[in-house]
């Protein structure tokens, strides 16, 4: 059998969706010495590494307070509580988000209400406005895939209806809209340091950010069993602390964060360049397509015709893809009984998929993904 040389090369290449071992391998010596240093000091909970990371993160984002918490979901719960959301309230969120956004609303005693998203995957402000009722307390947009929603429109809606803005910015640490970082539009913003996030720890982790001294003090107390600085419990708290060991690792990673974002944006530019003229795909907006936005490309999510066959073809050629949220939009979890209206998200869920995008991919890897996709659709046309 004669195999075309280019075909052979394509068949041998392997681009998994994400490469967890590479996260450690890229700087293993530094991580080894960092972790050993923490272990030798016996510094596990709320030690100097956590304080240092919090100071570095606040300075990176240009805000007054960053507070390390257990994970992104804890960050969302604390942000909602600090915004005064509680029993009897409704919070409007987009159907295109992680269940954690809605679960956080549920766990503070309020009801999540689900609105639609736009073709760029972000919350649809018109749809959000239509879902407002006399119980609505907050709008909770997800800054999805490392991009920000139309924060001008959403902030105006909050102002007109006297609502709180509570961002789920777990996917968008460092993304900006009109110069303001995701997470700093409302009183308290949230980030997740799940390993596959743009700033990923070696386990679970998260942070909240705020410019309010009062909210910062409240959250420091909430993450530590409700204890105030004198040790007295003055409110119902949680065990929601960021591990000191993870904070030490995150400190190392934060120093290289800008490089990682630059690389992510460069990869997105390659995808844009190579795939933009395929009629069977709709791509996310290109890195520099909107002067108001700085996107950090947590994910590269596309709309694809014949998606399921494309995914199989890619898998057969060593390319890993995944469906965000396992392929389910929030309004499709009917057992959770959320009031919802999301016709666009319904259609989008049948076509959306994510291509590999992380800072450790080589240009060759990205071109292999592009070659394979082009080959799939050319084969269909032939
Ligand atoms: C990752 C993520 C979270 C929170 O995740 P954790 O696993 O709790 O850190 C919340 N919302 C969105 C949109 C996310 O992507």
Per the prediction, the chain carries an average pLDDT of 96
Q: Which of 237, 254, 271 is the last residue of a domain?
A: 254
Residue 382 within a domain? no
Task: Kindly report the pTM of this predicted structure.
Answer: 0.95
Ligand 1 pocket test, pick from 144, 170, 196 with the greatest ligand atom count within 8 Å of Cβ, gives 170
Ligand 1 pocket test, pick from 76, 94, 100, 325 with the greatest ligand atom count within 8 Å of Cβ, gives 100
Residue 361 within a domain? yes
Structure tokens at 42: 């016996």
- Nearest-5° Cα angle at 128, 328 to 85: 90
Read off the pLDDT of residues 277-293 as tens digits, 9 standing for 90 and up: 999 999 999 999 999 99
CA of 348 relative to ligand 1 center, distance in Å = 21
**What is the C-alpha separation between 242 and 221, in angstroms, rounded?**
13
CA of 96 relative to ligand 1 center, distance in Å = 13
Can you give 286-354 as a three-state secondary structure string?
A: CCCCCCCEECCCCCEEEEECCHHHHHHHHHHCCECCECHHHHCCHHHCHHHCCEECCHHHHHHCCCEEE
**What is the C-alpha separation between 75 and 67, in angstroms, rounded?**
9
Which atom of ligand 1 has the smallest separation from the CA of 71?
9
Read off the pLDDT of residues 206-250 as tens digits, 9 standing for 90 and up: 999 999 999 999 999 999 999 999 999 999 999 999 999 999 999
User: Could you tell me the pLDDT band of residue 8, with boundaries at 50, 70 and 90?
Assistant: low
Residue 175 within a domain? yes
What is the CB-side half-sphere exposure of residue 9 using CA atoms within 13 A?
9
CA of 192 relative to ligand 1 center, distance in Å = 6
For residues 193 and 321, membership in a common domain is answered with no
For residues 140 and 69, membership in a common domain is answered with yes
Is residue 93 within 8 Å of residue 136, measured between CB atoms? no
Structure tokens at 228: 């105030």
Query: By percentage, how much of the chain surpasses pLDDT 70?
Result: 97
Q: Which of 215, 235, 254 is the last residue of a domain?
A: 254
Residue 219 within a domain? yes
Domain of residue 328 covers: 5-19+257-377
Ligand 1 shell residues, CB under 6 Å: 71-73, 97-98, 100-101, 142, 168, 170-171, 192, 194, 204, 206
Q: Which of 254, 289, 321 is the last residue of a domain?
A: 254
- Using CA positions, which residue lies closest to atom 14 of ligand 1? 170
CA of 196 relative to ligand 1 center, distance in Å = 10
Structure tokens at 58: 């606040």
For residues 223 and 322, membership in a common domain is answered with no
Strand 111-115 versus strand 339-340 pairing type:
parallel
CATH number for the domain harbouring residue 290: 3.90.1150.10
**What is the C-alpha separation between 323 and 351, in angstroms, rounded?**
9
Read off the pLDDT of residues 110-142 as tens digits, 9 standing for 90 and up: 999 999 999 999 999 999 999 999 999 999 999
Is residue 270 within 8 Å of residue 367, measured between CB atoms? yes
Number of domains in the chain: 2
Q: How far is CA 179 from the centre of its chain?
A: 19
For residues 176 and 156, membership in a common domain is answered with yes
Ligand 1 pocket test, pick from 68, 148, 189, 192 with the greatest ligand atom count within 8 Å of Cβ, gives 192
Read off the pLDDT of residues 159-204 as tens digits, 9 standing for 90 and up: 999 999 999 999 999 999 999 999 999 999 999 999 999 999 999 9
């Amino acid at each position: 059998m004669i195999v075309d040389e280019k075909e052979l090369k394509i068949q041998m290449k392997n681009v998994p969706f994400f490469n967890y071992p590479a996260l450690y391998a890229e700087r293993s010596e530094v991580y080894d010495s960092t972790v050993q240093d923490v272990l030798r000091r016996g510094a596990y909970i709320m030690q100097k590494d956590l304080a240092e990371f919090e100071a570095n993160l606040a300075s990176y984002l240009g805000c007054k307070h960053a507070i390390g918490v257990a994970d992104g979901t804890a960050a969302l719960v604390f942000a909602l509580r600090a915004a005064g959301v509680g029993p009897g309230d409704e919070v409007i969120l987009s159907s295109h988000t992680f269940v954690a956004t809605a679960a956080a609303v549920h766990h503070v005693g309020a009801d999540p209400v689900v609105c639609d998203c736009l073709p760029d995957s972000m919350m649809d402000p018109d749809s959000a406005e239509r879902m407002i009722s006399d119980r609505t307390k907050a709008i909770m947009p997800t800054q999805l895939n490392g991009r920000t929603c139309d924060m001008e429109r959403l902030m105006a809606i909050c102002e007109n209806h006297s609502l709180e803005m509570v961002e789920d910015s777990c996917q968008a640490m460092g993304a900006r809209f009109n110069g303001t970082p995701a997470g700093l539009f409302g009183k308290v913003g949230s980030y997740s340091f799940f390993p596959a996030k743009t700033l990923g720890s070696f386990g679970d982790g998260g942070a909240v950010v705020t410019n309010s001294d009062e909210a910062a003090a409240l959250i420091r107390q909430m993450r530590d069993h409700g204890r105030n600085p004198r040790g007295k419990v003055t409110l119902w708290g949680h065990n929601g602390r960021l591990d000191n060991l993870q904070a030490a690792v995150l400190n190392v990673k934060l120093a290289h964060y800008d490089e990682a974002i630059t690389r992510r944006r460069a990869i997105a530019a390659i995808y844009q360049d190579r795939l933009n003229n395929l009629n069977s795909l709709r791509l996310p907006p290109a890195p520099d397509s909107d002067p108001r936005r700085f996107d950090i490309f947590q994910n590269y999510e596309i709309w694809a015709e014949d998606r399921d066959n494309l995914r199989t073809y890619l898998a057969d050629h060593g390319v890993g893809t995944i469906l965000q949220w396992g392929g389910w939009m929030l309004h499709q979890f009917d057992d959770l009984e959320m009031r919802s209206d999301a016709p666009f998200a319904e259609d989008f869920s049948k076509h959306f998929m994510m291509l590999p995008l992380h800072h450790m991919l080589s240009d060759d890897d990205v071109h292999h993904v592009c070659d394979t996709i082009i080959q799939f659709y050319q084969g269909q046309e032939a």
